[in-house]
Amino acid sequence: MLLFEDFINRFGQGPPDDRAFNPTIQALLVSLMSIGTLIGALSGAYTAEWWGRRRSLSFGVAMFVAGNIIQITAMSHWAHLTVGRFIAGLGVGNLSVGVPMFQSECLPRQIRGPVVASYQLMITIGILISNLINYGVRNIQGSDASWRIVIGLGICFSLPLGIGILFLPESPRWLAARGRWEDARMSIARFRGMKDDPSCPIVEEDMQEMSESIAKQDQAGTGTWLEIFTGKPSRIPRLVYRTALGCAIHFLQQWTGVNYFFYYGAVIFESAGIQDPILVQLILGAVNVVTTFPGLYIVERFGRRLPLFIGAIWQATWLLIFASVGIALPPLQNPVAGTLMIVAACMFIASFAMTWGPFAWVVIGETFPLRTRAKQASMATASNWLGNFLIAFLTPFANSGIGYGFGFVFFGCNAAAAVIVYFFLFETKSLSLENVDAMYSDMSLKAWNSKKWVPAGYFDRNRRDSAYWQRRSSAVDNIRRSSVDHRKSRPTAYDDTSSAERMEEKS
């Protein structure tokens, strides 16, 4: 929309016959939505815990719709538009925590990776649709209908999520964490297509794994914000390690450089002398969608670590080519250089769509223990949006300062991402969320050897030892009953138990 004539005339700066965006206003207009998403991501930890995963998602959609309505009603001042983008960002940030969390907690481990990765697939399809809409309305860009249509259609696309999610079962792990075991069993049964037989072996296996983990964590209490940065008082193994890892992966997902192209690609390629920059954006969006599909296969075939490592190296290589060509052969004087830069951008986006795009959301859904999952997931997602904000805010200044040399910065970030993945990220392929927690809790295990780790009670990551689980079943039932009895014995807000007695019970 930064190229649309009516949009520039209404919200740009300068005399009426020569309006344009100065870099600061352009940066604020694009980037303040990311500040909203950062705050919204942090709030997602609370709404997901207070109201449940489903109603939290509906709340996020409501915020997004409100923000879009404010944007549509903007008439002549960029600040009005920016306020609407900020409020819409609150909703997007809330959703970016809630959706992967809901998917991860509801899915069988056998298909969790591909389905959570489909979160990114839907993002790529959304980008392509927006590019198609922009390409379609470019002929009426002199009218306010052009940019109002683009913003208004976002409302139409969001409503099926906000309304449809209320017809799905609640997350079984959220229910079980509150002692609603029968509701959790029925939720698992519905998600497995077994609502008429909730005691079948498939449901019972999931209940066994989930029950032991939740019962133990319930006895330990609820995690705090301070805990995810200090590891105390729970002393969950590698808790701070996982917080830092999740934040690093998601911050670097943005600083791979993908939104350098998607936010400002049209402006970048226009400055490179490309005749139809919106068409180039459409091509990049199409590459993004097509190459995301192999990622859904790769995530379960090859795991998480190897594709992320190779993807970071591949992306670094093509960004180095992009920046080097742009500086050595200015595209305005060398048309071939502009073409080569488009090819480099396409190769970069193809790798991102197959690896770092979807896989970062898979990692955030799998890495954290239930006790602190919501807070750690929201912190990692907030790091994602912090990186997003910095890209959106700094790019106009970088374009006017170092130009295509900004690509060298992204080259370095991808190299750093490869190092972090190799030395710190554990392989979680085919593991339940409870077994992922057990793997990270094994302090003798190193990340580069984690692919060989097998949980107790399994022959390998896909085959269970049925005799082992039969022996565990009765013990788990006893833990579950004692957990429920303990919860029932806790004083409520209306209990007349003295504070001294409550402190003694807590102790």
| Per-residue pLDDT at 484 | 55
| Per-residue pLDDT at 168 | 92
Q: Which CATH superfamily is domain 5-170+236-424 in?
A: MFS general substrate transporter like domains (1.20.1250.20)
Which residue numbers in the chain have pLDDT < 70? 213, 216-222, 264, 267-268, 271-274, 465-507
The CB-side HSE value for 53 (13 A sphere, CA atoms) comes to 25
User: Distance (Å, rounded) from C-alpha 505 to C-alpha 260?
Assistant: 55
| Per-residue pLDDT at 482 | 62
| Per-residue pLDDT at 492 | 38
Contacts of 414 (CB under 8 A, 6+ apart): 252, 256, 257, 312, 313, 315, 316, 319
| Per-residue pLDDT at 115 | 82
Cβ burial 334-363 (10 Å sphere, 16+ → b, else e)? eeebbebbbebbbbbbbbbbbbbbbbbbbb
Q: Where are the domains of the chain?
A: 5-170+236-424
Its pTM surpasses 0.75 = no
13: which strand partners? 20
- pLDDT tens column, 272-294: 666 777 777 788 888 888 888 88
- pLDDT tens column, 340-387: 888 888 899 999 989 998 888 888 878 888 788 878 888 898 898 889
Contact 160, 138 (CB under 8 A): no
